[in-house]
Amino acid sequence: MDFRWDLIVEYAPFFAKGTLLTIGLSIAGIVIGTFLGLLIGLGKLMRNKLLALPFNWYINFFRGTPLMVQILLIHFAVVPPFLGTTNAIVAAIVALSLNSAAYIAEIFRAGIQSIDRGQMEAARSLGMTHVQAMKFVILPQAFKRMIPPLGNEFIVLIKDSSLAALIAAPELMYWGRAMQGQYYRAWEPYLTAAVIYLVLTLSLNFLLTRLERRMATE
Amino acid sequence: MKKLKVVSSVLMVAFLLILSACGTSKTGGDEKKTVRVVTDAAYAPFEYQDKGEVVGFDIDFIKAVAKEAGYNIKVEHVGWDPIFVEIKGKTADIAISSITITDKRKQTYDFSVPYFFSKNEILVPKGSAIKSAADLKGKVVAVQNGTTGQEAAEAILGENSKDLKKFENNNLAILELKKNGADAVVADNTVVEEYVRNNPNENFTVIEDDGAFEKEYYGLLFPKGSKLKADFDKAVKKVIDNGTYAKLFKQWLKKDPDIQILKDQQ
């Protein structure tokens, strides 16, 4: 099999630029998504069913429809009325954040509900309010349990950011496709992109493992 | 690598066995060789899917050519990128998908004689400041990734310019133009003219610039060194000469072909 390394060298600066944007999109998606996810997860846990309903449907919509459609919708229908023009990077960040928030909300809910009911009762009997008990007793314990599924979600998010290539956000996969389109060779660009994605996800994995070890109490 | 080869050949044999089990094998008679034709059926009216069936000008044309050349064909929709993977890997024999003959592509593949003449045109909103290809400089241009429209735009804006937005297909590129994300779209004349004809109330207009954009010719795509090329070259010429080409052209593209311009190239 002939593998044209020279083409990869030629495209290396573009892959580098694309990788930076991919990292940017992923970090923005993770940070905004985690924040929104926490709010939505707590919203869904509300005892008032009517108040919890919108949060429920938020999760249903963003988990139940393809991310590709969400990206196209946000790029061509949601962002233009606000900015007057399309903006692929903004659209990608919004789509990734909103989408991951739905998954992260469920991770938060599962984490919180996995904490024994007695913890809340004990905290309340010590005179804490519900919010205090959540903040100081339940969430710190729940967070430890959420790390593995959150890591899973972040890795998925990094890879899903490649869908932004559809709306011509110049991230990693976009340059892979551009290179493919120029030379009509599939393996050089796509395998290069795959290796870079692997490095990104492995780095994230490394960080999460360290975090997990630091949080371990035993 | 060796292991991979063994595995893939085992898979290949298994696949062939399944295929041969499916086929209704007719014995006797003159044996026609069946060739596998791949296409990206997302480019009406050249090739597209009509209720799951691949149809279009290219499809009828390749059928006529194959009949002339004495081959059976099986047309399959695989998508644009996979076309080049399949032809390069020789898992398909021919590709027909409005593929423009270019020197870059000729480095890796063989082409038949040209069977279609085309050129790039610029799609802009009515009243746009862009009047010619040179005016595109400094403007944001949307194109379909991997097309000659992209190459034409890159010749003006510079390769991999930040003002160039490469989309999965022309529809998305035109949508970007409609939402003010781009100032112009560069694509094949058939695409932009068809778009303006189908959407007269969207106030788009087409700009031709024969001085800036080169003439383009579509060809059948073969793997490098394919033995089929000679037979199909002959058949393509015959189909163009005997009037079948003009008939199909009129049927699918609603106008008469410029046969002379094709013959000059052959």
Tell me the CATH number at A179: 1.10.3720.10
**Contact between residue B83 and residue B97 where contact means Cβ atoms under 8 Å apart:** yes
Interface contact B167-A85, CB threshold 8 A: no
Q: Is residue B2 part of a domain?
A: no
Are residues B91 and B165 both part of a single domain?
A: no
Are residues B223 and B103 both part of a single domain?
A: yes
Are residues B80 and B63 both part of a single domain?
A: yes
The pLDDT value given to residue B219: 96
Domain range enclosing B95: 32-115+219-257
Q: Is residue B231 part of a domain?
A: yes
Q: Is the CB of B145 inside 8 Å of chain A's CB atoms?
A: yes
Q: Is residue B21 part of a domain?
A: no
Q: Is residue B3 part of a domain?
A: no
Question: From the CA of A16, how many Å to the nearest CA of chain B?
Answer: 14
Q: Measuring CA to CA, which residue among B70, B41, B71, B78 is closest to residue B56?
A: B41
Are residues B192 and B250 both part of a single domain?
A: no
Question: Based on the structure, what is the number of domains in chain A?
Answer: 1
Q: In the 8-state DSSP scheme, what is residue A122?
A: H
Structure-block tokens of residue A73: 């919708």
Structure-block tokens of residue B260: 């002379």
Average pLDDT rounded to a whole number, residues B174-178: 93
Are residues B42 and B94 both part of a single domain?
A: yes
Q: Is residue B210 part of a domain?
A: yes
Shortest CA distance from B180: residue in chain A: A85
Are residues B244 and B189 both part of a single domain?
A: no
Residue A134 has pLDDT above 50, yes or no: yes
Q: Is residue B9 part of a domain?
A: no
CA distance A150 to A156: 10
Q: Is residue B264 part of a domain?
A: no
Instruction: Indicate the pLDDT class of residue A90, thresholds 50, 70 and 90.
Output: very high
Q: Using N-to-C axis directions, what is the helix angle for A49-64 and A88-113, rounded to 10°?
A: 130
pLDDT tens string B202-221: 899 999 998 889 889 999 99
Residue A103: C-alpha distances to residues A26, A203, B184 (Å): 15, 22, 38
Are residues B83 and B209 both part of a single domain?
A: no
Query: In the block, which residue shows the tokens 């950011």?
Result: A161
Are residues B150 and B234 both part of a single domain?
A: no
Lowest mean pLDDT among A175-179, B59-63, B205-209: A175-179
Query: Between the ranges A179-193, B7-21, B143-157, where is the mean pLDDT highest?
Result: B143-157
Query: In the block, which residue shows the tokens 């011509």?
Result: A168
Q: Is residue B252 part of a domain?
A: yes
Which 3 state secondary structure label does DSSP give B108? coil
Instruction: Indicate the pLDDT class of residue B27, thresholds 50, 70 and 90.
Output: very low
Are residues B74 and B47 both part of a single domain?
A: yes
Q: Best mutation site among A86, A89, A175, A179 for testing chain B: the one with the most B CBs within 10 Å?
A: A86
Residue B60: give its domain's CATH number. Answer: 3.40.190.10
Interface contact B180-A85, CB threshold 8 A: yes
Are residues B80 and B60 both part of a single domain?
A: yes
Are residues B93 and B156 both part of a single domain?
A: no
Residue B8 has pLDDT above 80, yes or no: no
Strand-pair category, B184-188 with B141-144: parallel
Q: Is the CB of B259 inside 8 Å of chain A's CB atoms?
A: no
What is the percentage of chain A residues whose pLDDT exceeds 90? Answer: 81
The pLDDT value given to residue B50: 84
Q: Is the ipTM of this complex over 0.85?
A: no
CA distance A159 to A79: 23
Question: Based on the structure, what is the number of domains in chain B?
Answer: 2
Structure-block tokens of residue A193: 């992109």
Q: What is the mean pLDDT of chain B?
A: 87
Domain range enclosing A50: 5-215
For residue A11, how many other CB atoms are within 10 A of its CB?
A: 21
CA distance A176 to B234: 38
Average pLDDT rounded to a whole number, residues A31-56: 94
Q: Is the CB of B9 inside 8 Å of chain A's CB atoms?
A: no
Q: Is the CB of B8 inside 8 Å of chain A's CB atoms?
A: no
Are residues B75 and B152 both part of a single domain?
A: no
**Chain B contacts in chain A segment 9-28 (CB below 8 A):** 14
| A-B C-beta contacts closer than 8 Å | 61
Q: Measuring CA to CA, which residue among B216, B219, B217, B195 is closest to residue B205?
A: B195
pLDDT tens string B30-56: 567 899 999 998 787 899 888 778 999
Containing H/E element for B255? none
Interface contact B81-A180, CB threshold 8 A: yes
